[in-house]
Amino acid sequence: MSQTITDSNFNFPGQKSVYKGKVREVYHLENDLLVMIATDRLSAFDVVMPKGIPYKGQMLNQIATKMMAETQDLVPNWLLATPDPNVAVGKACEPFKVEMVIRGYLSGHAARQYKLGHRVLCGAPMPEGMIENDQFPTPIITPATKAEMGDHDEDISKEDILAKGIVSPEDYAVLEHYTQLLFARGSEIADARGLILVDTKYEFGKTTDGQIVLIDEIHTPDSSRYFYKEGYASRQALREPQKQLSKEFVRQWLIEHDFQGLEGQTLPTMSDDYIELVSERYIELFENITGTPFEKADTTNIAERIEQNVLSCLKELA
């Protein structure tokens, strides 16, 4: 099995602090620079799996940087350079403490809530008479509070975000507008590649000069759900499961093994064969989402490769 990177311990020049999220590790340097490492960790139900997935970090980083390039005319983003397959370097930001989740279809978490009888999610109404994977009349925004590693993201309404002062009304209006613009563009990109962008989440931050920018990942299989466009209508008419591109297949595997991240549940063990299968599925996701073949980076010594590439980049940016 190929080597993976599930943790990092770099000490870059001018390093001030390190933040470790569920999948990404962010190094804050002097001169308001951030170095973001996309690891091969796999998170589902807000729980990090014990084993890494080969090439997953590379795929996520390369999809995100490609999608940022394809949306930067709409929404400013934090990105300055991608010196390594697993690395993005950009402007330091103060992240907003909410994730902007937008849903075009009744799928995943929304569908699970709908089956429980809920018709409002995060303050957004969901019409009666829908079946799983139906399209909403218009996309709904269902924010979530951002969790620390090992904690669960929690649904929250726009009203609660404003009432608790988590985001100012002025800034929230910008986040909402940017979310709608990005989802519309992401849907166009997906459509051109024979896909449907079902739902996704965006994260935003504010730069030191007060500009709101897109940060973290965008339109990746970790942050988004895709269906294949071909056959969607016929499968829906027959009430058959949709053929989808996302990490939902991992969530379903965990559910089948009696795990949803709930208290008292035991995390099932993923065999090496299953981990290889997950890696292959992620490659399929990459190639369908980007429309380009996936080129595997050298994994002989990932940490050393990353360090050398980042140091060279920092010299160029100095």
Cα–Cα distance for residue pair 162/169, rounded to 1 Å:
6
62-76, 182-196, 260-274: range with lowest mean pLDDT: 260-274
CATH 3.30.200.20 maps onto the chain at 15-94+269-317
Cα–Cα distance for residue pair 302/39, rounded to 1 Å:
10
Cα–Cα distance for residue pair 65/214, rounded to 1 Å:
11
pTM for the model stands at: 0.88
CATH 3.30.470.20 maps onto the chain at 95-250
The CATH class of 15-94+269-317 is: alpha beta
CATH code assigned to 95-250: 3.30.470.20
pLDDT confidence bin for 150, thresholds 50/70/90: very low
Dihedral of the CA atoms 140, 135, 257, 156 (nearest 10)? 10
Predicted confidence (pLDDT) per residue in 82-91, tens digit:
999 999 999 9
Predicted confidence (pLDDT) per residue in 200-257, tens digit:
999 999 998 999 999 988 999 888 999 999 999 999 999 999 987 777 788 889 999 9
**pLDDT value at residue 295:** 96
